[in-house]
């Protein structure tokens, strides 16, 4: 046994541990996959073990990868808040390739890149090149492995607060591209414009959005004004950064307009804006805030499905049909009383593929167990709030199932 002491300030709260956690004497404190919910739980573990340690003989790759990621972020001048939010990876990239036969996308890395770019778009120059590289990577994932992309971004959105704005933009961009491509049969060009507009829709208030996700006090008058005017300010900032595509810019300017009605009666840019608005509603409602719990995924879907006049919205309907009632990344309870996470869309909107992570007694299954919810024994009984799931697997263990 080779114990290495961990700094408790770097232990992520509300995230599954990708390794066994031990005390100073080697005693088991928490199994791999255990979720430390808050500072009180963390303090209790420290009191029991006198320190929090990892045995590098059994978790060497996880610990080394974690330290390497922290070093990379420090060298990139990442804020201390983002460094504290780093999730320990369960293995190095070579180990992931060996286990899955392919390289999995680095979604936490994509989160960090998006946050750095959207918070400070003018830093370092070449905004256009950096933005196109970021969007291009997201677009490739959403086209070639849409279930995995949705799984990653819905899963991360349900737990992200420090990098909320960029994670939300990535999710909305991914959703809208999937909906436009799969349900509306849009050509490649408008799908690309749509994804770019969604990714940049809040660029003028990325930092403020991240602040508000952690803020428990009511918004100030200045904050309210910034939120209300952010669409126009985002359009203006994009123009200053060199964006000249009129439909991209109009979609950003109009993405908060309340404009129900058939898509055919709207201009192409207005159609994009409406799709963004519907996906924006869904993404905002499933994300946590310091001041409130996230909405159940089915309620978030319903909010997108019906328009401002309580009628079925064409864009919202396309979103629900594309993602399903229980989209990848959502947690559900099955008729068997097991709890699992949706990893892949199914033949119908209510029969996705699920990976069970907790048995009927609430105990971890260890490895995710695939379930076909189209079969009566594993029919979905309802959604489970992310905060109520005690066992959550690292994202990289779920992605190969998508």
- Nearest CA to 171 out of 140, 146, 150, 192 is that of 150
Q: What percent of the chain has pLDDT over 70?
A: 85
Together in a domain, 185 and 269: yes
What's the distance, Cα to Cα, between the start and end of the chain in Å? 35
Q: Which of 98, 130, 151 is the last residue of a domain?
A: 98
- Nearest CA to 205 out of 160, 238, 158 is that of 238
Together in a domain, 283 and 389: no
Together in a domain, 120 and 73: no
Q: pTM score > 0.85 for this model?
A: no
Q: What is the pLDDT of residue 60?
A: 53
Together in a domain, 245 and 309: yes
Give 56-71 pLDDT, tens digit per residue: 666 555 555 554 554 4
Q: What is the pLDDT of residue 1?
A: 64
Bridge partners, 382 (sequence order): 333
Together in a domain, 117 and 199: yes
Give 309-340 pLDDT, tens digit per residue: 999 999 999 999 999 999 999 999 999 999 99
CB 196 within 8 A of CB 135: yes
Q: What is the pLDDT of residue 195?
A: 98
Together in a domain, 273 and 388: no
Together in a domain, 157 and 199: yes
Together in a domain, 122 and 59: no
Q: What is the pLDDT of residue 27?
A: 85
- Nearest CA to 371 out of 384, 358, 383 is that of 358
- Nearest CA to 166 out of 78, 241, 95 is that of 78
- Which of 23-37, 57-71, 118-132 shows the lowest per-residue confidence on average (mean pLDDT)? 57-71
CATH number of the domain residue 173 falls in:
1.10.3210.10
Mean pLDDT of 280-291: 92
Order of strands across the sheet that contains 3-5: 3-5, 53-55, 21-22, 28-30
Together in a domain, 117 and 94: no
Together in a domain, 51 and 70: yes
The distance of Cα 358 from the centroid of its chain, to the nearest Å, equals 21
Q: Which residues contact 191 (CB under 8 A, 6 or more apart)?
A: 139, 177, 180, 181
Question: Which residues form the domain of 394?
Answer: 331-401
Q: Which of 98, 115, 146 is the last residue of a domain?
A: 98
Together in a domain, 83 and 201: no
CB 322 within 8 A of CB 174: no
**216: its two tokens:** 């428990």
Number of domains in the chain: 3
- Which of 73-77, 147-151, 271-275 shows the lowest per-residue confidence on average (mean pLDDT)? 73-77
Query: In whole numbers, what is the pLDDT of the chain averaged over residues?
Result: 86
Bridge partners, 358 (sequence order): 339, 364
Together in a domain, 294 and 336: no
- CB < 8 Å & 24+ apart, contacts of 78-86: 78/112, 78/116, 81/162, 82/112, 82/115, 82/162, 82/163, 83/10, 84/9, 84/10, 84/162, 85/12, 85/162, 85/163, 86/10, 86/12
Q: Which of 98, 119, 151 is the last residue of a domain?
A: 98
């Amino acid at each position: 046994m080779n114990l290495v002491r961990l700094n408790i300030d770097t232990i992520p709260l509300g995230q599954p541990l990708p390794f066994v956690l031990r005390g100073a004497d080697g005693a088991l404190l928490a199994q791999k996959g255990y979720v430390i919910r808050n500072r009180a739980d963390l303090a209790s573990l420290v009191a029991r073990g006198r320190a929090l340690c990892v045995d590098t003989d059994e978790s060497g790759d996880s610990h080394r990868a974690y330290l390497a990621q922290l070093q990379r972020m420090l060298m990139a001048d990442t804020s201390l808040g983002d460094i504290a939010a780093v999730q320990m990876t369960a293995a190095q990239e070579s180990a992931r390739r060996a286990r899955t036969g392919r390289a999995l996308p680095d979604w936490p890395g994509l989160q960090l890149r998006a946050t750095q770019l959207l918070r400070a778009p003018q830093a370092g120059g070449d905004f256009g090149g950096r933005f196109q590289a970021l969007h291009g990577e997201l677009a490739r994932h959403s086209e070639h492995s849409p279930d995995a992309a949705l799984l990653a971004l819905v899963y991360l959105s349900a737990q992200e607060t420090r990098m909320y704005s960029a994670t939300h933009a990535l999710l909305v961009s991914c959703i809208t591209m999937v909906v436009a491509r799969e349900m509306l049969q849009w050509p490649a060009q408008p799908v690309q414009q749509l994804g770019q507009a969604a990714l940049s829709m809040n660029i003028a208030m990325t930092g403020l959005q991240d602040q508000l996700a952690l803020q428990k006090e009511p918004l100030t008058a200045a904050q309210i004004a910034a939120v209300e005017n952010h669409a126009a300010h985002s359009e203006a900032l994009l123009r200053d950064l060199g964006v000249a595509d009129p439909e991209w810019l109009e979609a950003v300017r109009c993405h908060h307009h309340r404009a129900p009605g058939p898509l055919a009666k709207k201009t192409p840019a207005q159609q994009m804006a409406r799709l963004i608005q519907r996906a924006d509603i869904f993404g905002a409602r499933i994300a946590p805030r310091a001041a409130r719990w996230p909405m159940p995924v089915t309620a978030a879907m319903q909010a997108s499905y019906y328009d401002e006049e309580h009628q079925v919205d064409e864009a919202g309907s396309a979103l629900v049909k594309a993602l399903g009632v229980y989209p990848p990344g959502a947690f559900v309870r099955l008729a068997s009383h097991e709890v699992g996470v949706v990893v892949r869309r199914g033949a119908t909107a209510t029969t996705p593929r699920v990976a069970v992570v907790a048995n009927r007694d609430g105990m971890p299954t260890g490895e995710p167990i695939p379930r076909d919810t189209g079969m009566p024994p594993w029919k979905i009984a309802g959604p489970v709030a992310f905060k109520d799931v005690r066992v959550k697997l690292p994202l990289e263990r779920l992605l190969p199932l998508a």
